[in-house]
Amino acid sequence: MRYFLEVCYKGTNFNGFQIQNTGKTIQGEIQNALLKLLKDPIILTGSSRTDAGVHALQNYFHFDIAGAFPMGKVYNLNSMVSPDIVIKRIVEVGAEAHARFDANTREYKYYIHQSKNPFIQDTSYYYPYTMDWDKLKAATALVLGRHDFSSFSKKNTQVNNHFCEIFKAEWSMDNEQIVFNIRGNRFLRGMVRALVATLLKVGRGYFSFDDFAAILAAHDCTKADFSAPGKGLFLVEVAYPTEVITPSPVM
């Protein structure tokens, strides 16, 4: 039987989402907890990989087991993982449902603060510089639509193509924090952080509107800026068709 596992996490103390040999990961923590609970090795397939230090209000795995999952044990599962991870729910899905390939859209928010604040330093980027928001927002509009985002993808990314369709890209204020909100059908490795860092350079006057347009068109990752740290980035929603899984409200 196949199940979707919905999870949220604070990524500060993790070396990313996907299991690896270089440190503690979200996938590794949950797989170890499932092994203890079910007494059988479980391999999780993730929806959206997040880098070290990146957070998620909503992300998904799918996994297969021979029998029915003991739904009353979700509480126990949460007690076995780090306090920075919450298993929100486990839902039975169709045998062909896929956490990664069936997702319609993914949405991210990137948080920035311009006044020093120790209470949000793990979840927001301190960027105390004067910005021309009109120029920044004008350049942001270029991101909308379907483009080859090779310029904003880290090297050695194993994908068939670099085309993504962006449905939403905007800046706003939320409790004295600046928020970049972006939603698309898919994202490349490092893409959101590269967009944020490069757009911030437009806001500071290091790049012009035409410079940003040229970077987007260049399909060359050496042209963009990748300096925005992971700690400001949140995966806020992964959306599926209702026939795959019933939507869950984002925390």
pLDDT of residue 153: 93
Please check whether residues 114 and 78 belong to one and the same domain. Answer: no
Residue 125 annotated as binding site: no
Angle of helix 191-204 relative to helix 133-140, nearest 10 degrees, comes to: 140
Please give the angle made by the CA atoms of 225, 186 and 162, to the nearest 5 degrees: 60
- Residues of the chain by 3-state class (helix, strand, coil), percent to 5: 25, 30, 45
Max CA distance (Å), the chain = 59
Note the pLDDT tens digit of each residue in 11-43: 999 998 888 777 899 999 999 999 999 999 999
Q: How high is the pLDDT of residue 249?
A: 79
109 and 93 inside one domain: no
Rounded Cα distance between 120 and 106, Å, is: 24
Query: Position of tokens 């949460």?
Result: 78
Query: How many domains does the chain divide into?
Result: 2
Tens of pLDDT, residues 145-179: 999 999 999 877 667 888 999 999 999 998 889 99
**Residue 182 pLDDT > 70:** yes
* Per-residue burial over 64-79, b = 16 or more CB atoms within 10 Å of its CB, e = otherwise: eeeeebeeeebeebee
Q: pLDDT value at position 159?
A: 76
Assigned token pair, 179: 């928020």
Provide the CATH number for the domain around residue 11: 3.30.70.580
Residues 113 and 172: their CA atoms lie apart, in Å, by 12
Q: How confident is the model at residue 251 (pLDDT cuts 50, 70, 90)?
A: low
pTM above 0.85, yes or no: yes
- The CA angle 194-137-226, to the nearest 5 degrees, is 10
At 169 the pLDDT is 98
- Amino acid letter for position 196: V
Whether residue 126 sits in one domain with residue 55: no
Range of the domain at 200: 105-236
Provide CB contacts within 8 A for 80, sequence distance 6+: 32, 33, 36, 37
Same-domain pairing of 88 and 135:
no
User: 152 with 211, same domain?
Assistant: yes
Length of the chain: 251
Cα(46)–Cα(239) distance, rounded to whole angstroms?
Answer: 14
Q: What distance lies between CA 251 and its chain's CA centroid?
A: 15
Do 111 and 57 lie in a common domain? Answer: no
List, as one string, the DSSP characters of 39-61: SS----EESS---TT-EEEEEEE
Residue 202 lies in a domain: yes
How high is the pLDDT of residue 79? Answer: 95
What confidence tens digit (pLDDT) does each residue in 86-116 have? 999 999 999 999 999 999 999 999 999 999 9
- pLDDT tens track for 66-93: 989 998 889 999 999 999 999 999 999 9
Per-residue model confidence (pLDDT) at position 76: 93
Q: Of 76, 97, 118, which one is at a domain's C-terminal end?
A: 97
Closest to 125 in 3D by CA, of 133, 116, 134? 116
Active centre residues (catalytic): 51
